[in-house]
Structure 1
Amino acid sequence: MSFSLSTVFRPLTRAVTYTRWLHQLIASVAGTLAGFVHGGTFRSTGMEVWLWIAVLPVPVLLAAALIPAVRRVEGLQAQLLLTPGPHGPEERAGTGISTTPSLSWRDRGRTAGWLLLRLAVGVPVSALTVQLPVLSFAFLQAAAGHRTHFRGLPAIDAPHGWYALLVPLPLVVLLAVAVAAGSLMAAAAGLLLGPSAAERLAVLEARTERILEHNRLAQELHDSIGHALTVTVLQAGAARAAGSPEFTDRALAAVEETGRQALTDLERALRLLREDVPHPAARPVLADAERLLESARAAGSTVRAELSGPLAALPGPVSREGYRMVQEALTNVLRHAGPVPVSVRIAADADALELEVRNPMPASPAPFAVGRGLRGLRERAVLLGGKAVAGPDEDGEWRVHARLPLARLR
């Protein structure tokens, strides 16, 4: 029994019950103002006044629904008054109620339906909010032995003490109606003010973009940190084997430079993941490719490079992704073949950018099994409309080759 009573009385202890009630009372304001403008409305008797309040503002509400900003105002009001709990940006986004202006005639039609529903529910609730407490007072007066006749209510000409039993009944009915109407309006808000198909598609696209961006950042961190660790391990091993203070100094300088660049890439990726930083650090481009070549040379490889074409004028996406592709190819060489001679060709013309990295195959080809790095290299090329291949060629060398079209990106 206690559980049943708590279930019945729980809505009366929730703030949202009363904010929803306020939301319904606000709906009758437009009708009240229209009644004052119309003149003579409030000289009517009984329920005629409320009927006028319900009818007079209909044309105005239909016209207001055509204004795009009205949907935004109604959505904000519904979020604040009809939904329980905190109302921060994240909580409001989870209410299922949109706060964007009308973008189509369908949105305007749904807004019109919402305004008319607010009026149809709000006016009766407002009428009951006014009349039912008066009825309770009339019962109280009748219980005290006084005849009563309030406007809009039937007269009580035969007062009696038993009317005291009826005093709480109108208030109970009023609370029940307010709770039920509030729940109805909260459910209707999700249907009539919920996101349109275009809004849901936009949200889905934005979420997809964020996922793709996070995947791209993960790939970049894999390339950058993997390259830095590979160079560091090779430098440390070479310095210990060489036993030369001069070589050790050079190796430590190369480790320092590579680590600094990796930390810069890591900080840039972390800043991108923070929404409060609008301008992350610039990403490296192919014009900075000499940094990669020097890093490979410092690791002990003999690098023969051929750079041609207007690399500095390449489109940003191509130049940035091209840098990462060369970085991954060189990291793959150092990790699996060691400090071997490497040939790097970066050539740009009006039509395409070509990247090629060659190196002698190690004694055992097994380490060159395709992993995440080479898969990522191919994915980068495909996203830019190009193609990348990696594998042994007819000369017995390991070859990574990518061609990225430029004509459609200019």
Structure 2
Amino acid sequence: MPWEEAGGGAVCQDRGVLWRLLLERLTWRRWAYLVMGGALLMPYWFLSWVVVAFLPVPADRPLRDVIALVLALALPAAGTFVTGLLPAVRVLEATAIGELVGGRLGERPVEPSPDWPTRLRTGCWFFLHTHVGVLVSALSLAVPPLALLLAAFPFIDQGDVLSSQGGYHDGLARALAPGAGLALTVALLGVIAATGLLAAGLAPAFLGPSPAERLAEAERRADRLAERNRLARELHDSVGHALSVVTLQAAAAGRVLERDPDFARRALSAIEESARSALADLDHVLGLLREEAHGRAPQATLADLDGLLDKTRLAGVRLDARVGGGLDRVPAVVSREAYRIVQEGLTNALRHAGRVPVRLRIEAGDDRLEVEMSNPLNDAAAGRPGRRTGGGRGLPGIRERVTVLRGRMRAGREGRTWRLYVSLPLRSGG
């Protein structure tokens, strides 16, 4: 509410905010956290007075009292700070904050202080927690009785000891005393709410992740993202290819079921095998997503290429494959990725061009493995209106595989032909 329109409305609004804060259980949980800090400071104070009692101090009474007071205040401050340097204190404080103050200090559970900058931050926080907590505790103990006394002051008999001291039986003092008690109560409640909010706001800066922990968490997120992308590629290449082949195989078997039952039986057998393989791949990926330790990754390589080509032919695709020798010498990681690249290339041809002739060439040289695939474009793929299915993830998936292996790739239209060319190094320095 604007000040110029409401006048005292801003004060009322502030009171409304304070009232809402006081009605929240979180505010009183934060108050309990601060009071707990005050309780933690008491042993340090008691120990400091014991230490001061045995220290040699000047005989002069005023100077001795001042030195004793300074030491009694400095020793607890130093003691709480040094205690906060212990690695485990960070975990204890973070647990208390999570339970009482609310909010998260990071994406992962807080660990013991890993380095000295983090320990120093924790030491400062433990110092603030205990010393601010003892102030809040003192106010919480002193203000309520004083406020009750001021509220009852007008009704105290003038002959009472309290009212007869210092002229407090004055009529103006009697009239103002209840208001002063109410103001003290409101001030105490405001201090409790404000310090709780301040503790919640400052805790992440003192107890939150360090730069090293943020970097480690970023690396963990990157690893998880890379693993999820790998699983997405595996699922897209294996299950997507299987479904594309099964769809065309089922259509081909249905067309020739009457006149060529042998071909239909082979197609149905291939459908069964493709579906079983896709189910195994899907089960593997789901197992990894559930973080099951017993899942094993599919390990199809170029040694399984013949089965892949046979299934593609049974789908009605005229496939002209020229496979060179020496594929058994291809490193396992390159062989696995090359198999997936061929699989995805055939899937793209089936999905976007249909049962068109496909030419495939695979040759393993001394230093590189070359994969080349081409097929004519149908009307839809050539740019005229027509059907198009799929999410467009095939080529990006191939490009990721080629990039990981530091290979080269070209893909695109050449007239009315789609051509894919991939060259993969067979050695790490290729």
- TM-score higher than 0.5: yes
> Kindly tell me: are residues 377 and 229 of structure 1, through their superposed partners in 2, closer, same or farther at Cα, counting changes over 3 Å?
same
> Kindly tell me: are residues 18 and 65 of structure 1, through their superposed partners in 2, closer, same or farther at Cα, counting changes over 3 Å?
same
> Which residue number in structure 2 is paired with residue 198 of structure 1?
212
Query: For 1:236-247, what aligned pairs fall within 5 Å after superposition?
Result: 236-242=250-256, 243-247=259-263
Query: For 1:104-183, what aligned pairs fall within 5 Å after superposition?
Result: 104-139=115-150, 143-145=155-157, 146-147=160-161, 160=169, 162=174, 163=177, 166-183=180-197
> Which residue number in structure 2 is paired with residue 185 of structure 1?
199
> Kindly tell me: are residues 119 and 247 of structure 1, through their superposed partners in 2, closer, same or farther at Cα, counting changes over 3 Å?
same
Contact kept, 8 Å, 2:407 with 2:425, in 1: the verdict is yes
Letter in 1 for 2:408: K
**Alignment pair present for 1:83 and 2:102:** yes
**Alignment pair present for 1:74 and 2:74:** no
Aligned mate of 1:64, from 41, 61, 83 = 83
Contact kept, 8 Å, 1:97 with 1:193, in 2: the verdict is no
**Alignment pair present for 1:404 and 2:424:** yes
Q: Give 1:266 shift.
A: 3.3
Q: How many residues get paired?
A: 385
Contact kept, 8 Å, 2:30 with 2:196, in 1: the verdict is yes
**Distance across 2 between alignment mates of 1:265 and 1:346:** 27
> Which residue number in structure 1 is paired with residue 57 of structure 2?
none
> Kindly tell me: are residues 38 and 117 of structure 1, through their superposed partners in 2, closer, same or farther at Cα, counting changes over 3 Å?
closer
- Corresponding residue SS for 2:371: strand
Structure 2: gaps (5+ residues): 1-8, 54-66, 384-391
1:224-276 Cα shifts (integer Å, max 9, x gaps): 343223322332333234331221111111112212222333343344444x5
Contact kept, 8 Å, 2:41 with 2:131, in 1: the verdict is no
Q: Give 1:177 shift.
A: 1.3
**Distance across 1 between alignment mates of 2:146 and 2:325:** 92
**Distance across 2 between alignment mates of 1:74 and 1:397:** 66
> Kindly tell me: are residues 343 and 188 of structure 1, through their superposed partners in 2, closer, same or farther at Cα, counting changes over 3 Å?
closer
Contact kept, 8 Å, 1:31 with 1:53, in 2: the verdict is no
Contact kept, 8 Å, 1:378 with 1:388, in 2: the verdict is yes
Bigger Rg, structure 1 or 2: 2
> Kindly tell me: are residues 36 and 319 of structure 1, through their superposed partners in 2, closer, same or farther at Cα, counting changes over 3 Å?
farther
> Which residue number in structure 2 is paired with residue 252 of structure 1?
268
**Distance across 1 between alignment mates of 2:426 and 2:134:** 64
Identity of aligned residues (%): 37
Q: Which moved more, 1:7-16 or 1:333-342?
A: 333-342
Contact kept, 8 Å, 1:358 with 1:400, in 2: the verdict is yes
> Which residue number in structure 2 is paired with residue 282 of structure 1?
297
Aligned mate of 2:362, from 319, 342, 345 = 345
Q: Which moved more, 1:16-25 or 1:2-11?
A: 2-11
Q: Give 1:36 shift.
A: 2.8
**Distance across 2 between alignment mates of 1:290 and 1:339:** 19
Contact kept, 8 Å, 2:105 with 2:208, in 1: the verdict is no
> Kindly tell me: are residues 265 and 338 of structure 1, through their superposed partners in 2, closer, same or farther at Cα, counting changes over 3 Å?
same
- Corresponding residue SS for 2:376: coil
**Distance across 1 between alignment mates of 2:70 and 2:99:** 28
**Distance across 2 between alignment mates of 1:384 and 1:209:** 17
Contact kept, 8 Å, 1:61 with 1:115, in 2: the verdict is yes
Query: For 1:297-376, what aligned pairs fall within 5 Å after superposition?
Result: 297-300=313-316, 301=318, 303=321, 305-306=323-324, 308-310=326-328, 314-315=332-333, 318-335=334-351, 336=353, 338=355, 340=357, 342-345=359-362, 347=364, 354-358=369-373, 361-362=375-376, 367=381, 372-376=393-397
**Distance across 1 between alignment mates of 2:411 and 2:198:** 62
**Distance across 1 between alignment mates of 2:246 and 2:294:** 30
Letter in 1 for 2:99: L
> Kindly tell me: are residues 216 and 165 of structure 1, through their superposed partners in 2, closer, same or farther at Cα, counting changes over 3 Å?
same
Letter in 2 for 1:60: G
Q: Give 1:341 shift.
A: 6.6
> Kindly tell me: are residues 338 and 323 of structure 1, through their superposed partners in 2, closer, same or farther at Cα, counting changes over 3 Å?
same
Aligned mate of 2:17, from 7, 29, 38 = 7
> Kindly tell me: are residues 6 and 333 of structure 1, through their superposed partners in 2, closer, same or farther at Cα, counting changes over 3 Å?
closer
**Distance across 2 between alignment mates of 1:178 and 1:391:** 68
1:267-299 Cα shifts (integer Å, max 9, x gaps): 43344444x545544233315444423322433
Contact kept, 8 Å, 1:27 with 1:122, in 2: the verdict is yes
Letter in 2 for 1:187: G
> Which residue number in structure 2 is paired with residue 268 of structure 1?
284
Contact kept, 8 Å, 2:84 with 2:127, in 1: the verdict is no
Aligned mate of 1:28, from 21, 26, 38 = 38
> Kindly tell me: are residues 363 and 132 of structure 1, through their superposed partners in 2, closer, same or farther at Cα, counting changes over 3 Å?
closer
Q: Give 1:189 shift.
A: 1.2
Letter in 2 for 1:385: R
> Kindly tell me: are residues 98 and 328 of structure 1, through their superposed partners in 2, closer, same or farther at Cα, counting changes over 3 Å?
closer
RMSD (Å), alpha carbons: 4.2
Q: Give 1:137 shift.
A: 4.9
Q: Give 1:7 shift.
A: 2.9
> Kindly tell me: are residues 187 and 205 of structure 1, through their superposed partners in 2, closer, same or farther at Cα, counting changes over 3 Å?
same
**Distance across 2 between alignment mates of 1:246 and 1:66:** 79
